[in-house]
Chain A
C-alpha cells in the first residue's frame, strides 16, 4: 500500500462545479503539499500545510492531522483548472524530501 493515496484517480466535472480531491497518508508528517501539473508537464506548488486550512483564490486546502487526511477544493471550476493535482508529504524523518501520491487527473468541461 502506498504511503500517500489520492482519490479519485480521475475526475470529470462541468464548468462551475465544486470539486474535491482527497489525500490520505499513513505516516507521520511534518507538512503536506498540494501541487498542480499542467497539461504541458510543468509542476507548480499550490499549498503547503501543516495544520488547518489555506485559501488562495478559488482553491482551498484543508488538513486533519489526527485523521491523516487532506482535501483540495476548487470552487466555481473552470476549464483552465484541468490538470493533474498531486498530494505530497514531508515525512517526519525525511528532512525536506517529498513522498508523492499518484495524482488526480481533473478535466473540467465547458
Chain B
C-alpha cells in the first residue's frame, strides 16, 4: 500500500547543479501537485497537473519545471539550483471526485550549498 512515493528523501546539491525529484502514485489519481515547505511559511504550490498531459503553474514556479510522464508519475526538475531553493519538497495526489483529500508523499529534504 505505497500511496505516494517520493525519491530521493534527502539530497545536497551545489549551486548551479541540476536535479530531478521523482514522484509516483499508485492510487490511479488524476491530479498531482508539487509543494515546497519553508520555515515560517505554509506549504506553497509550485506546479500541479490536473490530469495526464496537463501541467499548470502554482504560486512559486520560477526556477522549476515539471513533467507529467504518465498518470502515475509527476517529476519536478531544478535546472540550475540556487540556495533559495533549499526546502522540503512534497508531492501529493488526489482523486477526481470533489471532497477527496490530497495524499502526500513523505517529502524530499533538499539543501543547496
Q: Report A90-101 CB contacts with B as 1/0, cut-off 8 Å.
A: 000001111111
Contact with A along B29-53 (1 / 0, CB 8 A): 0010100000011111100101000
Q: How large is the interface on A (under 10, 10 to 19, 20 to 34, 35 or more residues)?
A: 20 to 34
**Interface core residue of A86, A97, A100 (most chain B CB under 10 Å):** A97
A30, A42, A98, A102: the one contacting B102 at CB < 8 Å is: A98
Are A41 and B88 neighbours in the complex by a CB distance under 8 Å? yes
B61-113 interface with A by 8 A CB criterion: 88, 90, 92, 94, 98-99, 101-104, 106-107, 109
CB-CB under 8 A from A2, the residues of chain B are 42
The answer for the CA separation of A97 and B31 in the assembled complex, in Å, is 10
Q: Which residue of chain A is the closest to B99 with respect to CB atoms?
A: A48
Instruction: State which of A31, A43, A50, A98 has its C-beta within 8 Å of the C-beta of B45.
Output: A98
Q: In the complex, what distance in Å separates the CA atom of A33 from the CA atom of B103?
A: 12
Give the complex CA separation of A102 and B42 in angstroms: 4
When the two chains form their complex, are residues B41 and A102 in contact, meaning their CB atoms are under 8 A apart?
Answer: yes
CA distance in complex: A16, B43 (Å):
30
Residue in A40, A42, A103 whose beta carbon sits within 8 Å of that of B104 in the complex? A42
Q: A44 at interface (Cβ–Cβ under 8 A)?
A: yes
Nearest Cβ on chain A to B19's Cβ, whole angstroms:
19
Question: A30 — which chain B residues lie within 8 A by C-beta?
Answer: 98
A100 to chain B, nearest CB (A): 3
Residue pair A4, B42 in contact (C-beta under 8 Å) = yes
Q: Across the interface, do A44 and B42 meet the contact criterion of CB distance under 8 Å?
A: no
Whole-angstrom CA separation of A72 from B18 in the bound complex: 41
8 Å CB contacts to B: which residues of A32-80? 33, 40-45, 48, 50
B78 to chain A, nearest CB (A): 20
Contact B94 A96 (CB under 8 A): yes
Identify B107's interface contact among A42, A45, A86, A99, CB under 8 A. A42
Report the bound CA distance from A4 to B101 in whole Å.
18
Contacts of B106 in A (CB 8 A): 40-42
The 9 closest A-B pairs by CB, nearest first: A100-B42, A45-B101, A43-B104, A100-B43, A41-B107, A102-B42, A42-B106, A101-B42, A96-B31
